[in-house]
Structure 1
Amino acid sequence: MSRLFCLCLMLVVCLVAVSESKPQEPNKEHVADMANECKAETGATDEDLELMMKHEPSENKEGKCLRACMMKKFQITEEDGKLNIEHTLGMLKVMAEHAEDKDEVLAEIVDTCAASEVPDDHCESAAAYQMCIFEHMQEHGIPLREEH
């Protein structure tokens, strides 16, 4: 659960940084509650959480829906399931190693993935967006930070 908390906290920090409004600083309990809500809403297992944390694809519906739920709660995707470009770019700037040198490439990755054809199903589209982003990061030689 601590790895999930780190991911959630990182996403919240990112959202605070890119948000025009000034949301309340979330506390550890709030982030953990959101993660537990998503797990309960989707029927996801601890294994599904672990796969999400390792950025490995889920083969089951629950794991994909867990990703969709977390992405919506942290405004990475909109309610319609589409990628929120601004928040996703902010998240990548937090997650990517040496992101300060990669602004243009990260923006290109987000734009490319946002424009990609994804399924209408929000669970499937969340998984597709995540894979698109990580595959493009790999192609550009941009690793994720180790701390998250």
Structure 2
Amino acid sequence: MKLILTFLFVCGLIISNTEANDLVDKVTKLAQECKGSTGASDADYENLLNYQAPNTDKGKCLTECVLKKSGALGENNKINEAVMVEFIKAGAAGDASIEKIGMEGLQACLKVPQHPNACENAAALNACFTKNLRAKGFKGLPA
């Protein structure tokens, strides 16, 4: 569910093996923790889990919190490429075509200009991943 949602979303691309299921569970728990610490609403939380772009400042900060706590986003608010590669591989569950889509999305999103506001930055990166996955015809995301 997550990618990391969203990105994390890239993480939860496929839920067909134990590693992918564990990753989804981890991200879901992080999202719940971050919901409390950011003051995000239930709607913000549900949007995150359903790959919907955050539409509130607290929703954007929820995304940022999950990405940071998962290690996908470094302290410098840049994508942690090594962690994302691990998430993509876990989410792909051995499916080379899904892994390729995830890796192409990662490369595209590494080029997203960094926003000075950490929450806006995380939301932009999340939107990039979701957009790239949908553009590649990935079927694991809701329309």
Q: What TM-score do the two structures reach when normalised by structure 2?
A: 0.71
Which residue of structure 1 lines up, in the alignment, with residue 39 of structure 2?
43
1:35 and 1:144, CA in 2 relative to 1: closer, same or farther beyond 3 A? same
Asked if 1:101 is matched to 2:97, the reply is yes
> Distance in 2 between the 1:136 and 1:97 partners?
19
Which of 38, 50, 59 is the equivalent residue of 1:54?
50
Which residue of structure 2 lines up, in the alignment, with residue 113 of structure 1?
109
Identity rate of aligned residues, in percent? 25
Q: CA deviation at 1:130?
A: 0.9
> Are the counterparts in 1 of residues 88 and 99 from structure 2 also a CA contact under 8 Å?
no
Q: What TM-score do the two structures reach when normalised by structure 1?
A: 0.69
Aligned pair count reads 127
SS, match of residue 82 in structure 2: helix
> Distance in 1 between the 2:91 and 2:139 partners?
9
Whichever of the two has the greater Rg, that structure is: 1
> Are the counterparts in 2 of residues 11 and 74 from structure 1 also a CA contact under 8 Å?
no
Which residue of structure 1 lines up, in the alignment, with residue 16 of structure 2?
none
- 2:105 maps to amino acid: I
1:144 and 1:99, CA in 2 relative to 1: closer, same or farther beyond 3 A? farther
Asked if 1:71 is matched to 2:84, the reply is no
Question: Which runs of 5 or more structure 2 residues have no equivalent in the other structure?
Answer: 13-18
Q: CA deviation at 1:97?
A: 8.5
> Are the counterparts in 2 of residues 95 and 145 from structure 1 also a CA contact under 8 Å?
no
1:139 and 1:120, CA in 2 relative to 1: closer, same or farther beyond 3 A? same
CA RMSD of aligned residues (A): 3.3
1:68 and 1:99, CA in 2 relative to 1: closer, same or farther beyond 3 A? farther
Which of 131, 139, 142 is the equivalent residue of 1:143?
139
Q: CA deviation at 1:117?
A: 1.0
Higher relative contact order (CA 8 A, sep 6+): 2
SS, match of residue 105 in structure 2: helix
Q: What does the per-residue CA deviation read over 1:50-87, in whole Å, with 9 as the maximum and x for residues that have no partner?
A: 00011001111100100110111110111111111122
Question: Which runs of 5 or more structure 1 residues have no equivalent in the other structure?
Answer: 18-24
